[in-house]
Structure formats: structure tokens, C-alpha cells
Structure 1
């Protein structure tokens, strides 16, 4: 085999134009495929960083059977009951997304974070690089406030100070003791930078208020199906004890990883399929090049056969050339992929979840090299078989000038047809995607985003403990914003259009009979806005009037629908 490879290298060196063209075609196909595979690898294949026992992690949420497709989250009292009663879970944790404002520097810094039950990080298997994790008693509402910092907050806001543990830092207007620093890359559940204990009580978060995210660790040997059956039975008992809020409410249990990737899985696989079509087109191109090259080498092959070479030896020699091309193309394609992955990551316009990492690993290298080797067989076998069956007398007479017989021409025509079919399929798919994209771009959002800027304001709860106090802040802020030169209108909302989280609330319309159970209530998505918000968003009213400064809490209640 080594002799065949050495001979293949010599023959390819003699045809530099062909060799470079073939290698470049292979490299482009493998490079594009590898970049696409890196997305599949990052989203679907790579283990979540720093988590242990990932195959036993499950996502838990409550839902009403009337709207089974919608997750409701989990209420705090129900989470407490599940933790007490579940025997199939080795660990159970809950969290709530939160915003934290640090005011220790020259200017306040705002970070996304979470309030999380104390034992969650322990059963996830992650350990801090400095300090310790939360203790169970720190979940108590009256416990001294403590926090864990993310690695980037520690580095960027505190200069990587190793003495940060034990230091008190003003967070949300309170002096909070820093007890640890989490490892680089840890931002559970998605993009958190600071964590504090959950510290909740049922009187502040009654049953029927579904807002928590929940995760569980199955005991060894326990299947998801068994855990689901037990947890749904627990949900049934809770519903029987609290029919006003929990009738028709059940508990959903699914793989934590499946839950995290459910929104991106289909698109990821679609991208991979499209790029595979591109790679197959590249393989067909190289196969055509090899067929054309084989047609000019019929005299050479005929001489080898006349000297006693078997057909198998000839095929092996020609496949060796394909293998050399495939290996060279794989190496160059891998370099293209490294460059392409870097460009792709820089081009992503939004912050991605912490567990999606595009680092090169053994899967990406194996894919690139494996694709190159498989491609060598795909694009090299048919040309090798075709070239290994020369008509000896005719080929020797033609002196290598043959362009191939009718069968060779049919093979080339077939490859051309395959290329066209693949290209058309890809083109049609791309056209449909483009049409869908343009339809989304041109769809009426109900707002005019042109020249509209958004920003978030986080108010420390210590300084603004009451809604009325926070309301007065915005009553003063918005007129000041509207008075800035160049600003036509300003307003505030609890949920930005199209991208904000809108809460769902039970509503009672005048004249309706009050429902006995929450599942029978009218449900509506609601957001709170200030005067000026509609004008700032370019939203026009069909009927009626906008809110005005006179619509205070002491005035008659009003609403827009």
C-alpha cells in the first residue's frame, strides 16, 4: 500500500493544476461541512461543561392539561412538596432569574443572575475555584445575604482579587458577603453571572404563582419514565389538596439536555443537511475531474495491465490517488473550518447559553478526517473502476488520447445530473428559507422599530421596596428622557415587544361568574406600560385613548386591550 501511495503522490505532483483544483474543491466541501458539524457538536453532542451525571439530569415544570403545550413553570410551595415527597430524585433544585446591581465601583454595574436553591450546584457536581458553595441554612429568608460570583465578574469587576472571598459587596442596595467564585465558563442556567440563595417563603409566593425553573438528579438506576410516574402522582396529590389552584395541573419531566436544545435542534440539523448537499456537490465535481483524468490515462493503465498488473492492483493505485487528495483536502479543509468557526462565533449577534461551546475537540477532528476518507472512496471508486477496464489494443493504439468510451461518457453524464439535482434541491431549499426570512422581516410587528432605542433599568429593591416608590422613579425619569434633544417620545414597559417575557394572568371580566378553579379562568398575557410608550413604539390605537399621567393608582382603573 505504501508503494501505491508513493506512486500516487508522484503522479499527482506531475499534474499540479488538477491536483490543486481537486484539493481545493475537497477542502471547501469539508471546511463547510466541518463548520456546520461544529454547530451540531456544540448544541447536540458536547457534554455540558462542568456538570456531572448529565445523563441523569431532568427538567421539571408544571403545566395545565388544557394547555399541555405550554409550560407554566413551578410554584414555590409545590417545589417544596416535590422535594419532600420525591423518592426517585437524588437531588432537586429550583431557580428564578434575577438582575443584580453592584455599586462598589465608580458606576453601577448590572448583571444577569439567578436566585437558586442552596443544594443545586452541589448535586450538579460543580465546585468553585475560590471559596465554597451555598449551605442549606442560607436558603432561609432571614439568613445573612451571601453570593457567588461568576468568573468574568470576578476578573472584570474585581480584578481577579483572590481575597474577594469574605468581602462584603453592595448588591441591590444590600451589603452581601461573597463566599466563592465559580469556574470560568459556568453561567447556569444559561447566562448568569451572579447567584444568591433562593430565600423564599410561601406567604410571599403563594401556590398558583408559577415562576420557578426546576432541575432534578435521578437516582442511579431510575428511568425518566419511573420518575415521571412518581412526580405526576405527587402532582395529583397536590391538586387534590389544593383544588382551587392545582386542579388540572400536572408535572412534566424530561431530559434536561433535551429541554435546553429543543428550540435549536431542528434548525441545527437543517443547517447540517444543507451543507451535506454542498459537500456532495463537491464530491461529484472531484469525481468528474477524476473521470476526465482517467480518460487521458487509458494508455498508462493499458500498459500496466499488459505488464501483468491485475485489475485490483490498478484500482488500488487509482484509489490511492483519491486517498491522497482526500487527506490533503481534509487537512486544508480543517484549516478552513478553524477560520470559519472563528468567524461564525464573532458574527453571532446575541449572547449564547454558556453550554454552547465551539471549541475544537476530538469529534470535530474525527469528523473532518473521517469525511475526507469517506469522500475519497465516494468520489474515487467509480472513476477508478471505470479507468481500470481499458480496451488494451485500442488504448495502446490511441496513445493516451482517448476521451473515454460511451460507458465512461454515461458515467460522467450521470454525475452531472446528480450535481444538478443536488444543486436544485439545495437552491429550492435556500429559496424557501429566504422567502420565510423575508416574510418574517416584512411581517407587521405592530410597532415601528426604526430609530427606536431600548435599554433596561434595574432598581435596587432596598431603595425601591414598594411598587409605588419605583413608580415615582419612572414618573420622574421618563419626562427627563423625553426632554432630551432629538428624542420624540419616551416610555417604559415591563416587557419589550416580541422579545420580552410576558406574564400570563387570570382575568375576570365584569359579568363573568368567578371560576372555582384556576384552570377554568380566562387567561391573558399582560404587560404594564407608561404614558408615552405607545408613541415611542409607533403603535397607533384603533379606538379609545392612550394612558395619561392622570391614570394613577387612585384614579379609576383603566386598561388597553
Structure 2
């Protein structure tokens, strides 16, 4: 065994070109697979640094009459669901926002996230610098505050703690920077700034605008059966409050809950499956290339191997 290993090492050292090519092929295949496994680990196994992640649920609208299943909710519905303290420890809803930063030279487009309720409490995160805004800031007149992502804080302010307290002009309105998210928190991933969603009578009166992702943290002890019963009870109240041909009952409306981890994985599953297939193909190609190199090398050494066999060298 030891003799075979020594012979293999000497053979590899005598052909550095072959050795380098084979090592490169294997490294590419293994490296690609390691990268995809890291993505799978980040999305499926450790999606967010959030305590008790199993208690997070996503609340979704279902309106079979319009063929809308597993849809987003309206701000008004999210507001009503947040009041269900018997089910939820904390609740939030959020939507993406296109922001224009001005007043610092050329206008710049930024990616924002507007949230209702206790967004940061739901996800159990703490500020790296400053503080977070609370549910009270969602009401119009108190909503002009902002929390920066860690990356945007580093890029725009160089990680200066004095960024907290500064004013940013976003979409023509001044917003006070009150805090910075920790480095490890990146949800939604594209967000650069988090701002309160401005709740007013118009937002609460528009139940047809289904544009918000609602996430809630269950109270300890709330079982799936109790949650389903509570959601049926809430939608029953909506049907009583809004009757008639355009009411909830006429649409076959219901609200369902999904585990947050399943929801997050579902958003990324098509991309991850595509990546997994691609890297599996890369690994197969790498193995085929190494096998081809071995065949070429064996053909080139056929004469020397025949001589060794004739001399009894094995």
C-alpha cells in the first residue's frame, strides 16, 4: 500500500501539467458545490439570526373567486391581525419601496422597506447603533424616521456612529436616521433603508390593495389548530363588517398561515434548484475531464507499462 502511494506521488510529480489540470477540474467542481451548499445553508438551514424562528408565521390571503391563492394582504387586514394578541406576541407587515435620496448632490435611487407594527421585535433583532422605531411611528405624522442597513451605513457613512441623528431627504421628505441594523440581519435582502409605513384613514379603508407581506410571532403555546380557529374567527368578523356583493363572503375569502422558513425557502426554491442542477453538471463535467486526462495519460504510458509488466515490476 505504501509503495503504491509513493509510486503515485512520484508519477504525479513527473507530470506537473497533468496534475495541475486534474486538480483544477476537481477544484472547480468541488468549489461550485461548496458555494451552492453555503447558499442552501443560509436560506434553508439558517435563514436569519432570529430567536425561536419556528414561531414565525406568514399570513396569506386567499380569494378563490379571483383565483388568488397564497396572496399578500392589505395594510388594513394587517392592522386587524396585529390586534389579535390572543394569537400573536407581535406582528408586522412590510412592502418594498422605491426611494430617491436627494440633497447630497445628484439624486440617488435606493431600495427601501416600509413596515407596519413591530417589525424588529417580530424578528428579534437589536440595533448595531442607535435604536429602532416602533409601531407608533406608523401613524402619519410620526413616520419620518429611518433605519439603515449595515451595508448602506458602511458605504454611505463609513460606519460612523454619528450617522444616527442625521437627516436624509427621501422622496422629498426629511427623515431622521434613528438606528442601524446589525451586519447579520438582511431581510428583505435588497433593503438599504427601513421606514415606517404611513398608516392613515386612506390606508385603513383600502382593503383591496393586497401588497404587504404579513409576518407574526406566535405566542408560546399557540398550536396550529388554535391559530387556524383564530384566523377563521377574524375573517368571520370581516365578513360581518363588510357584507354584500363586494364583501369578503362573496369572494370565498380566507386567511392562512405558513411557517416563515417554508415561505422563505419557497421564494428561493426555483433559483436554488437551478443552481443545484448547474453545479451537479459542473461536477460531472469535471469528473469526465479528469477521466479523459487519465485515459490520455494511460495511452501515453502504454509502452512503459508493458515493459514494466514484462519485467515483473507490476
- Alignment TM-score, normalising by the size of structure 1: 0.46
Contact 1:208/1:246 (8 A) holds in 2: no
Query: Structure 1: how far apart are the matches of 2:307 and 2:66?
Result: 73
Identify the residue that residue 11 of structure 2 maps to in structure 1: 15
Q: Compared with structure 1, are the counterparts of its residues 77 and 270 closer, same or farther at alpha carbon in structure 2 (3 Å cutoff)?
A: closer
1:268 aligned counterpart, secondary structure: helix
Structure 1 gaps of 5+ residues are 301-394, 403-561
- Alignment TM-score, normalising by the size of structure 2: 0.77
212-221 or 40-49, larger mean C-alpha shift: 40-49
Q: Compared with structure 1, are the counterparts of its residues 12 and 160 closer, same or farther at alpha carbon in structure 2 (3 Å cutoff)?
A: same
Contact 1:146/1:176 (8 A) holds in 2: yes
Identify the residue that residue 194 of structure 1 maps to in structure 2: 193
Identify the residue that residue 39 of structure 2 maps to in structure 1: 42
Q: Compared with structure 1, are the counterparts of its residues 22 and 245 closer, same or farther at alpha carbon in structure 2 (3 Å cutoff)?
A: farther
Identify the residue that residue 548 of structure 1 maps to in structure 2: none
1:14 aligned counterpart, secondary structure: helix
Q: Compared with structure 1, are the counterparts of its residues 107 and 266 closer, same or farther at alpha carbon in structure 2 (3 Å cutoff)?
A: closer
Identify the residue that residue 239 of structure 2 maps to in structure 1: 239
2:211 aligned counterpart, secondary structure: strand
Give matches, 1:244-323, under 5 Å. Answer: 244-247=246-249, 248-280=252-284, 282-283=286-287, 286=291, 289=294
Structure with greater proportional strand content:
2
Contact 1:47/1:54 (8 A) holds in 2: no
Q: Give per-residue Cα distances to partners, 1:44-67, cap 9 Å, x unaligned.
A: 445234433333322222120234
| Deviation of 1:114 (Å) | 1.9
2:212 aligned counterpart, secondary structure: strand
Query: Structure 2: how far apart are the matches of 1:288 and 1:147?
Result: 58
Identify the residue that residue 376 of structure 1 maps to in structure 2: none
Q: Give per-residue Cα distances to partners, 1:376-399, cap 9 Å, x unaligned.
A: xxxxxxxxxxxxxxxxxxx8xx44
Q: Give per-residue Cα distances to partners, 1:295-315, cap 9 Å, x unaligned.
A: 998999xxxxxxxxxxxxxxx
Tell me the matched-pair count: 302
Query: Structure 1: how far apart are the matches of 2:137 and 2:131?
Result: 12
Contact 2:75/2:203 (8 A) holds in 1: no
Higher RCO (Cα < 8 Å, 6 or more apart): 2
Query: Structure 1: how far apart are the matches of 2:284 and 2:172?
Result: 60
Identify the residue that residue 445 of structure 1 maps to in structure 2: none
Q: Give per-residue Cα distances to partners, 1:151-198, cap 9 Å, x unaligned.
A: 343334344432222233333333322211222364432311112222
Give matches, 1:266-415, under 5 Å. Answer: 266-280=270-284, 282-283=286-287, 286=291, 289=294, 398-400=310-312
Identify the residue that residue 208 of structure 1 maps to in structure 2: 208
